[in-house]
Amino acid sequence: MSVEFKRYTTNSGETILYTGNPDLKLLEALSHGDGDIWHSSFEQGYKNEFRDIVYHAVVFFWFINDFDDLDQCISWRLNPNNFAIRESTWNILGGFDEDYENDQIKALDFAYNALRNRGAIPYYVTSLYTEKSKDTILISAKDRYTFYRKNFKMEHSFYMLYRKGFWKYKEWKSLLYAKKHFKLRPQGVSIPPRKLHPIKGNPTVSYIIPTMMRQDFTLTLLQDLVNQTYQPTQVVVVDATPETSRDSTLYDRSNYPFKVDFKWQTTKGSCRARNEAINLCTGDFIIFGDDDIRIQPNFIENHIRILQTYNAGGCNGLDIMADNSNQDLADLERKLEDYKDKTLKVGAALTFNNANTCVRREHVNNIIGNDINYDGGYGEDSDFGISLLKSGVTLLQNPFSVNLHLKPSSGGYRFWGSQAKILGKKRKQQPWELDTPVKHIRPVPSPTIMYQIHKHFTPEQFEEYKYKYFILHLFKGSKLKFIPKLLKLPYKILQFKRSVFYAKKLIQLGVRYK
């Protein structure tokens, strides 16, 4: 498909390429935001198209489903006949891949890679195009396997073959064609980050630190906050350290040039801790941090600069793991040397990390806070990120605000959650057990992960997760372990069903914030 573009020059002198007939006044406004590609494809029959992406993504890709009831949101379901793109983005990404037979899969492949791998953000915008006629979208098995061959490892093509029907000649023929003619596509050059603007105005910043049995690490982080080039207005420390283990004299507000709220947590769980802190926040921006990180002096400054430069609602910083819990900022500098030869991209964040995120407070207040159904389990940070996306907030990946994650062997909120692995009288009941304590069968995967799947994804996607979960259990790893795994399969099925049982009880209970 040789795309025949028209051109629009923005007030800032940038060239936007477009097909169809977009609202140029709206396109001008969009050009000043964080997007790179824009379309109105939902009304044109593309919403949630190419559902076969599920055989790779299952429930581990935020954008597997298009979002509902939003005038603007991230979506890679691109209509090739009605879209607009920055000329610089089109040139860097190299245009559509002509190896496909179908123009529609060319556009889907292009926008998927732009979002997933290349640091470009494709947006659905409800009124950019007024065209409402729905396209008939027919993607052949050959194009489907070509997409998988170019984008994923071969194991995913074989899995799709198994799910589509390994006895079908057409599926085998299409897979073997793609395997013979194409290879896994190199990731390619990413969209370079924009030059960050200086901070505009005097925005206020609240920094949240939930902590438990790590007062020494918290004090070190507080000192890093003192050394910031742009200091927080307020720091909220919610400490769950038991009375018998805490030293209340260590927290002295007079040691800091900013307001510090120290709060001893009487409830249980990191979600409750963050919600208690959110209720105390007054800043224009809220930064969420773990207690076991070290941050560079420009950490807060770069969070604010990137959000103002891109006109975005939130961002996810760069989280670098330490080799041990005794490392410091000098070690972080050495680790960052490894990133100098790598392309640091911005683009849309594909995860949310409570250790290092910055969100405008108005957006945090809009979704109220963390769902406390996750306390005692896993997945609360991802749930918070998905909730922001569903409310219309775009989260950027921010490579300029870096933390060193120390991960000490003791302390932290996982101390409570670690009890979930214990059975018998020594087990301490977890919040997600509600009125049905775990007895003889420990639920696996974590019921809170299962809760997230039921909360945010479709029944069909859950089924795909279940298939892949047990296939990986049987076939991943050493072949010598296959027979022991097969013998253990009935018990694994019981554990899985028990996890679903607790997840459905949480679904019935509904989202909770306190």
| Mean pLDDT taken over the chain | 93
pLDDT the model gives residue 339: 75
pLDDT the model gives residue 176: 97
Reported as a single tens digit per residue, the pLDDT across 376-385 is 889 999 999 9
pLDDT score of 1 more than 80: no
> Average of pLDDT values for 178-195?
94
Q: Where are the beta strands (DSSP E) in 430-486?
A: none
Q: Is 208 exposed, middle or buried (0-12, 13-18, 19+ CB in 10 A)?
A: buried
pLDDT score of 317 more than 70: yes
pLDDT score of 501 more than 70: yes
pLDDT bucket at 514, cuts 50 / 70 / 90:
confident
**Cβ count near 461 (within 10 Å):** 18
Distances, alpha carbon 272 to alpha carbons 222, 263, 265, 376, in Å = 21, 12, 9, 11
Reported as a single tens digit per residue, the pLDDT across 341-357 is 666 889 999 999 989 99
Domains, the chain, with CATH or none: 6-181 (no CATH), 205-405 (3.90.550.10), 422-509 (no CATH)
**Pair type for strands 314-321 and 395-405:** parallel
265: left (phi over 0), alpha (psi -120 to 50) or beta: beta
pLDDT the model gives residue 132: 85
pLDDT bucket at 133, cuts 50 / 70 / 90:
confident
> Average of pLDDT values for 393-400?
96
Q: Pick the closest to residue 261 from 232, 284, 285 (CA basis).
A: 232
Structure-block tokens of residue 90: 């089109």
pLDDT bucket at 2, cuts 50 / 70 / 90:
confident
Is 219 in a helix, a strand, or coil? helix
Q: DSSP class of residue 314?
A: E
β-partners of residue 321 are: 405
CA distance 148 to 157: 6
Structure-block tokens of residue 502: 């607790």
User: What is the total residue count of the chain?
Assistant: 514
- On whether the CB atoms of residues 402 and 296 are closer than 8 A, the answer is yes
Handedness of CA 174, 176, 181, 187 (dihedral sign): positive
> Average of pLDDT values for 315-320?
95
Whole-model pTM: value is 0.93
CA distance 179 to 174: 9
pLDDT the model gives residue 416: 59
> Average of pLDDT values for 22-30?
97
Q: Which residues contact 424 (CB under 8 A, 6 or more apart)?
A: none
Q: End-to-end distance of the chain based on CA atoms, in angstroms?
A: 54
Reported as a single tens digit per residue, the pLDDT across 142-184 is 999 999 999 999 999 999 999 999 999 999 999 999 999 999 9
pLDDT the model gives residue 244: 87
pLDDT bucket at 506, cuts 50 / 70 / 90:
very high
pLDDT the model gives residue 479: 87
Reported as a single tens digit per residue, the pLDDT across 397-448 is 999 999 999 988 776 666 655 666 667 777 778 889 999 999 889 999 999 9
Q: Which residues contact 443 (CB under 8 A, 6 or more apart)?
A: 450, 495, 498, 499, 501, 502
> Average of pLDDT values for 208-220?
94
- On whether the CB atoms of residues 41 and 79 are closer than 8 A, the answer is yes
pLDDT the model gives residue 411: 66
Reported as a single tens digit per residue, the pLDDT across 7-24 is 999 999 999 999 999 999
pLDDT the model gives residue 167: 94
Q: Is 209 exposed, middle or buried (0-12, 13-18, 19+ CB in 10 A)?
A: buried
